Amino acid sequence: MSESGYTPSHLLHSLKELAEWVRSPAPTGVYGLMAEFANADDVVTAARQVRAAGYRKVDGYSPYPMESLIHELDQHHSWVPTIVLGGGLTGFLAGYGLEYWSQVIAYPMNIGGRPFHSWVSFIPPAFETTILFASFGAVLGMLALNGFPRPYHPVFNIEEFAKNASNDRFYLVIEAADPKFDVAVTADLLKTLNPTFVKEIPA
Amino acid sequence: MDPRFIPLPLVAPGHTNDSVTEKISHMTLEKETPRAWWLTLFVALGMAGGLGVAIIGLLFVGIGLWGPNVPVGWGMDIINFVWWIGIGHAGTLISAILLLFKQKWRNSINRFAEAMTLAAVLCALQYPLFHTGRPWLAFYWLLPYPNTMSLWPNFRSPLIWDVFAVSTYGTVSLLFWYVGLIPDLGTLRDRAKNPFVKVLYGMGAMGWRNSARHWSNYEKAYLLLAGLSTPLVLSVHTVVSFDFSVSLIPGWHATIFPPYFVAGAVFAGFAMVLNLAIPVRWLYHLEDVITMRHIENMAKVMLATGLIVAYGYFMEFFMAWYSGNFYEWFMMKTRSSTGPYAWSYALLILCNVIIPNTLWWKKARTNTIWLFIVSVFVGIGMWLERFVIIVTSLYRDFMPSSWGYYKATEFDWMFFIGTGGLFLTLMLLFVRFLPAIPMSEVKMILPGAEGRVKR
């Protein structure tokens, strides 16, 4: 299993998918199949089996972050760190640039005989703007990558999910958009993985 | 292994994912608000009302209502500002630094401590804001924005660094706290019966659905925020200490100030966390998630930072003598023994050095009543530390002709007690309306959370 085999071509692929999604008509029919599991063991094992069977549009759901589930679903890669780096660099340049421009160009003033470009004194504010922009990058980046705010998602159509996903149950969802998806075959596979139920998710 | 050295569990045995959700969401959604909560809110609102009166008085009359005057130009306004900011630091230490060090015991107390940080920063901000006298005119020399006078703030001044440090700190603390809250708001959304309440929590949760894809991004963002907050929190009190140490006043101009201030901040902050956690734990029966191990660990951090602070006091004394500087040594002598404020130094040593040293004994660390008392003393002691640093450095400087005396006025005290009320009110509202213990993070440390992973 690749640890972080995410390349620019993957990004291109994601963008193409996004474009397809934008052009696609309003969803009808089935969003996918959902299996509920009573414990962490079962969902991790199920995720591995489903991946091994060749399904790729699979998502797991757990009431707390599970390293093992993320690992099985190969979802380790995230653009958040890159966005944070970009935010930090922007913050530093913006902060230092503002200081340089205001103290040297816009409003040069002799204060205690210090040079206009007092770079040592400029470090603390530039440091703070670096942290500020990087933090906004982390939060807004995370929200944007997760597609938030999102008022509607088909998985909430399953009553048990809406009640227990954030409490103590674990779920695996295989989307109908997966090329290997077939309502009967996929449901049979999920039923062999010791779920408490398998249900169709209306879109 | 000796049973004394086996660590106690972080969550009382017998808890499951469901029981954790039930226990914590029950506090906000179903439990009848305890009478003690209403009573404290009543008192807190009364105190906060005093803040309102003090602010209105100040805006009508001016800062002459406060005690600072020549030669002590900084008084309770700055003492209280530094005190409140320092208290906030423990929250960030618990949520960020302990996360980076993989200290799992932070998981049940971090939300609470972060909320305390936010409330403390808000209280701290009142002081510099109203010390400007006319805050609506203060922005052009505090914040860099294109104004009609074409003026720009002086970035060579530590006071401007302070504006940047504290405003960044407040903002990043808010972001960190909110990110941590999102999954738990999702839980409350799923459990709320009242449709109006459900919509409110739902808006806060932004559509969170516990997907592994989301958790992956979320964990990265959370970890990076912790990594960013760590240097940030150290920089904030360092910059606050620069307000003093960059000047040339004996008693302020010292290189030990940054680490000494940061340790003092964490010391006072942990004392405040204990002062809040002990009553809340008792009132809401949280002994199984905030266990004796949490309490004892906090006591240990308090002891360790207290010793660093004591070292700082010793070093200040030593350097004043060793430097051979007449003014430094004179300042130290008047501060600690011969001056009219020597009582404050004696009390400071009692509160911050002598009393916390009882925490070497396990009996003292596990007795919540004694720990509460020690924490109150540490809070007072850290307030006195700022009083000693600020007032006893200014009131007798180089020229005997300019010596003076500082006395806080009723308005100073009203303002201080008022921010205490504001702080308490915010904490009470937090405990009532938001999950005070992070449910998803407590579930992470339950046995078997990761499954039996075979790779």
The answer to whether the Cβ–Cβ distance between B176 and A135 falls below 8 Å is: yes
pLDDT at A203 over 50: yes
How does pLDDT run across B240-250, given as a tens digit for each residue?
999 999 988 88
User: pLDDT per residue over B105-123, tens digit each?
Assistant: 888 888 989 999 999 999 9
pLDDT (0 to 100) of residue B1:
59
DSSP state of A106: I
Q: Report the gap between the CA of A23 and the closest CA in chain B (Å).
A: 23
pLDDT at B455: 45
Distance CA B111, CA B222 (A): 13
Pick from B23-32, B49-58, B363-372, B398-407: least confident: B23-32
Pairwise CA distance, residues A117 & A113, whole Å: 11
Dump pLDDT digits (tens) for B66-93.
999 888 988 899 999 999 999 998 888 8
B221: nearest CB among A69, A141, A165 = A141
Yes or no, beta carbons of A62 and B215 under 8 Å apart? yes
B451:A44 CB<8 A: yes
Per-residue burial over B221-258, b if 16 or more Cβ lie within 10 Å, else e, is bbbbbbbbbbebbbbbbbbbbbbbbbeeebbbbbeebb
DSSP for A65-88, please give it: --HHHHHHTT----SHHHHHHHHH
3-state secondary structure A114-138: CCCCCHHHHHHHHHHHHHHHHHHHH
- List pLDDT tens digits, range A46-100: 999 999 999 999 999 999 999 889 988 988 889 999 999 999 999 999 999 999 9
What pLDDT does residue A100 have? Answer: 96
Strands A30-37, A58-61: pairing kind: unpaired
Candidates B448, B415, B451, B310; CA nearest to B84 is B415
**What distance in Å separates residue A86's CA from the closest CA in chain B?**
13
Query: Could B183 and A68 be called an inter-chain contact, meaning their C-beta atoms sit closer than 8 Å?
Result: no
Residue B448: what pLDDT?
A: 76
* Confidence (pLDDT) at B12: 80
Binary contact (A63, B17; C-beta < 8 A): yes
Q: Is B177 on the interface with A (CB under 8 A)?
A: no
B23 band by pLDDT with thresholds 50, 70 and 90? confident
Of A83-97, A175-189, B386-400, which one has max mean pLDDT?
A: A83-97
Q: Which of A59, A107, A166 sits opposite B212 (nearest CB)?
A: A59
d(C-alpha B442, C-alpha B211), whole Å:
18
In chain B, residues with a C-beta closer than 8 Å to the C-beta of A75 are 212-213, 216
B residues 216-235 closer than 8 Å to A (CB): 216-221, 224-225, 228-229, 231-232, 235
pLDDT tens per residue across span A20-45: 877 776 656 789 999 999 988 899 99
Q: What is the pLDDT of residues A100-118, one digit of tens each?
A: 999 999 989 998 899 999 9
CA distance B125 to chain A (A): 17
In B10-39, the residues whose Cβ lies within 8 Å of chain A are 16-18, 21
Q: Verify whether the Cβ–Cβ distance A61 to B228 is below 8 Å.
A: no
Residue B27: burial class (beta carbons within 10 Å; 0-12, 13-18, 19+): buried
- Give the confidence band of A151 by pLDDT, cuts at 50, 70, 90: confident
Tell me what pLDDT residue A2 has. 46
A145 in Cβ contact with A6 (< 8 Å): no
Interface of B with A in 424-443 (CB under 8 A): 439-441, 443
Q: Quick check: B228 and A84 CB within 8 A?
A: yes
Return mean pLDDT, chain B: 90
B156, B189, B212 member nearest A62 (Cβ): B212
Nearest CA in chain B to A138: B221
Please give the residue that has the higher pLDDT: either B139 or B232. Answer: B232
User: Which CATH number is correct for A29-77+155-202, 1.10.287, 3.10.450, 2.60.120, 3.30.70?
Assistant: 3.30.70
pLDDT at A28: 66
Query: What's the CA gap between B27 and A39, in Å, rounded?
Result: 26
State whether A59 and B441 contact (CB < 8 Å): no
The mean per-residue pLDDT over the stretch B192-204 comes to: 92
Can you read off the two tokens belonging to residue B195?
């449709």
Q: Indicate whether B364 pLDDT > 80.
A: yes
Question: Each residue of B174-184: pLDDT tens digit?
Answer: 999 999 999 99
Rounded to the nearest angstrom, the minimum Cα separation between A24 and chain B is 22
Query: Closest-CA residue in chain A for B193?
Result: A163
SS3 call for A199: strand
Residue B11 has a pLDDT of: 83
Minimum Cα–Cα distance from A134: chain B residue = B228
What's the confidence (pLDDT) of residue A94?
Answer: 96
The terminus-to-terminus CA distance of chain A in angstroms comes to 31
**Which residues from B are below 8 Å from A142, CB to CB?**
179, 217-218, 220-221
Instruction: Show me where the domains of chain A are located.
Output: 29-77+155-202, 80-145
Residue ranges covered by each domain of chain B = 8-155+231-444
Q: Which residues of A touch B450 (CB under 8 A)?
A: 40, 44, 66-68
CB contact under 8 A, B235 and A73: no
Alpha carbon B238 to chain centroid distance? 15
Calculate what percentage of chain B has a pLDDT beyond 70.
98
Tell me: the pLDDT tens digits for A152-179? 899 999 999 999 999 989 999 999 888 8
Smallest Cβ distance to A65: which of B160, B189, B444?
B444
Q: How far is A182 from chain B (nearest CA, A)?
A: 22
Do the Cβ atoms of A199 and A158 come closer than 8 Å?
yes
Rounded to an integer, what distance in angstroms lies between the CA atom of residue B130 and that of residue B25?
39
pLDDT at A1: 41
The closest CB to that of B152, out of A102, A112, A114, belongs to A102
pLDDT the model gives residue A4: 55
Cβ within 8 Å, pair B221-A139: yes
Chain A residues inside the 8 Å CB shell of B144: 98, 102
pLDDT, tens only, B128-165 = 999 988 888 877 778 888 888 888 899 999 999 999 99
Instruction: Look at residues B260, B141, B242, B93 and name the one whose alpha carbon lies nearest to residue A124.
Output: B242
The answer to whether the Cα torsion of B257, B263, B265, B268 is positive or negative is negative
Q: Is the pLDDT of residue B453 over 60?
A: no
Q: Which of A36, A82, A146 to mutate to test the interface with B (most CBs of B within 10 A)?
A: A146
Query: Which chain A residue is nearest to residue B150, measuring alpha carbons?
Result: A107
Q: Dihedral angle at the C-alpha atoms of B142, B143, B147, B150, nearest 10 degrees?
A: 70
Of residues B107 and B309, the one with the higher pLDDT is B309
Mean pLDDT of B1-11: 72
The predicted pLDDT at position A3 comes to: 52
Among the partner-chain residues A43, A78, A149, the one whose CB lies closest to the CB of B216 is: A78
- Most B CBs within 10 Å: which of A4, A62, A89, as the mutation test of the B interface? A62
- Which residues have CB under 8 Å from A134's CB, separation 6+? A84, A85, A87, A88, A91, B224, B228
Burial class (CB in 10 A: 0-12, 13-18, 19+), B200: middle
Which residue, among B445, B344, B350, B448, has the nearest Cα to B79 in the 3D structure? B344
Please say if the pLDDT value at position B59 is more than 60.
Answer: yes
pLDDT number for residue A86: 96
Q: Which two tokens stand for residue B151?
A: 């003026």
Largest CA distance in chain B: 79
Are the CB atoms for B121 and B302 separated by under 8 Å? no
Query: How big is the CA angle at A169 (ends A165 and A171), to the nearest 5 degrees?
Result: 75
